[in-house]
């Protein structure tokens, strides 16, 4: 009867490990997720079928159930709700609701970067359709909602007609009715996972984000990442400088920091950042490559625990995650035929993100990721061939037994 209650916002795949961690700490876990059968529901003590983004409903549940913790480890918009509810109930949380809004609202984030000397692209925020191309911006451009979960509504546009349609779509998806228009910067896109402590920032791992070719997808989707990213020593130093500036300007300590950036000719331009760890396979790969348990760090951050200096034991292998996308339908299962002993030794896992019957929409976005494969190799040049061989043995099947695998995007 006296068991502590933890409310977990979002039933994503990484939150399976979050729930395991909380249960290991003695919490009874209540999962809030609007899906009927989210991926993490079978591990939670209770699944409450409500939206993680309904702050009043989450507040009501947390108050009624006398929760000791409201947490989201790697669901972007849910971090705002977790911090807001925790502030109102006097529960522990890693940073203020004001900070949570800066790191989840792209318009506020861009303003913050320009105000604090963080390198980023030119942009404007719009709240209604526009009549002409903004004079201070040049094609190609990126259009995206200011505050939507996943990658919905993010598009590259190369002409006026595409821009006009992209703004309409982005405004329709934004909960605040705002959209960002920013200049597209050519270069290599990387992800950076850090942990900020009282006196220092540790860059845990970098990854090369692998994009779906523009001719196949205008939405700037990635289909996976290769870990670590290949960057020069000078770029590593610039990453450290930029990340430290973000953390110092935010005023955060003892919390994660995730950054997406473009590297071009030795310069780093920040796309966006978040005071959390990445989703997908980040927790699995970072722990395999460094020995750092980022879920444990996330929980400790929320609880305000004193965290020892993060130490890493980097391995020499290269890892790659490849997300499995499905076309419109009702998800059934992922099928995988082993590729043979020699290649199978390089396959770390094939993970499933959806449960049978979950509806897959028609758009190509991160919501259409039904799973992922992770492979590893001693040399980076081996990764691509291994991944291709594994993909040829993968299929995504709907509940009628038909293939809905988007194999053409790889």
pTM: 0.93
148 pLDDT more than 90: no
pLDDT, tens digit, for every residue of 318-365? 999 999 999 999 999 999 998 777 888 999 999 999 999 999 998 888
CA angle 333-222-351, nearest 5°?
A: 30
Mean pLDDT of 302-328: 93
pLDDT at residue 180 greater than cutoff 90 = yes
List the domains of the chain with CATH numbers: 5-93 (3.40.50.20), 122-183 (3.30.1490.20), 186-315 (3.30.470.20), 316-410 (3.30.470.20)
């Amino acid at each position: 009867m006296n068991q502590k209650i933890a409310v977990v916002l979002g039933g994503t795949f990484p939150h399976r490990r979050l729930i395991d961690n909380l249960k290991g700490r003695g919490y009874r876990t209540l999962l809030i997720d609007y899906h009927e059968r989210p991926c993490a529901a079978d591990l939670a003590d209770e699944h409450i079928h409500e939206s993680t983004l309904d702050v009043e409903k989450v507040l009501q549940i947390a108050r009624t159930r006398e929760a000791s913790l409201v947490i989201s480890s790697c669901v972007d918009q849910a971090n705002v709700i977790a911090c807001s509810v925790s502030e109102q109930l006097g529960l522990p949380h890693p940073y203020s609701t004001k900070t949570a809004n800066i790191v989840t609202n792209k318009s506020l984030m861009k303003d913050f970067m320009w105000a604090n000397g963080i390198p980023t692209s030119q942009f404007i925020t719009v709240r209604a359709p526009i009549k002409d191309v903004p004079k201070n911006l040049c094609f190609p451009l990126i259009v995206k909602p200011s505050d939507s979960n996943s990658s919905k509504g993010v598009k590259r546009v190369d002409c006026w007609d595409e821009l006009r349609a992209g703004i309409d779509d982005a405004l329709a998806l934004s909960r605040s009715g705002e959209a960002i228009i920013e200049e597209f910067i050519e270069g290599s896109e990387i992800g950076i996972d850090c942990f900020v402590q009282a006196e220092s920032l540790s860059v845990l791992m970098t990854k090369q984000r692998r994009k779906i070719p523009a001719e196949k997808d205008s939405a700037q989707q990635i289909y996976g990442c290769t870990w670590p990213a290949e960057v020069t020593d000078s770029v590593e130093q610039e990453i450290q400088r930029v990340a430290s500036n973000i953390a110092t300007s935010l005023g955060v300590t003892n919390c994660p920091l995730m950054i997406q950036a473009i590297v071009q000719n030795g310069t780093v331009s920040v796309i966006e950042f978040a005071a959390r760890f990445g989703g997908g396979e980040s927790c699995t790969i970072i722990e395999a490559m460094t020995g750092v348990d980022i879920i444990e760090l996330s929980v400790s951050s929320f609880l305000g625990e004193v965290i020892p200096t993060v130490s890493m034991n980097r391995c020499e292998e290269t890892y790659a995650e490849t997300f499995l996308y499905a076309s419109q339908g009702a998800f059934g299962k992922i099928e995988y035929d082993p590729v043979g002993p020699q290649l199978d030794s390089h396959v770390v896992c094939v993970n499933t993100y959806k449960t049978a019957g979950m509806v897959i929409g028609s758009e190509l976005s991160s919501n259409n990721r039904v799973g992922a494969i992770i492979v590893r190799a001693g040399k980076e040049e081996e990764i691509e061939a291994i991944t291709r061989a594994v993909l040829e043995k993968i299929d995504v099947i709907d509940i009628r037994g038909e293939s809905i695998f988007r194999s053409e995007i790889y």
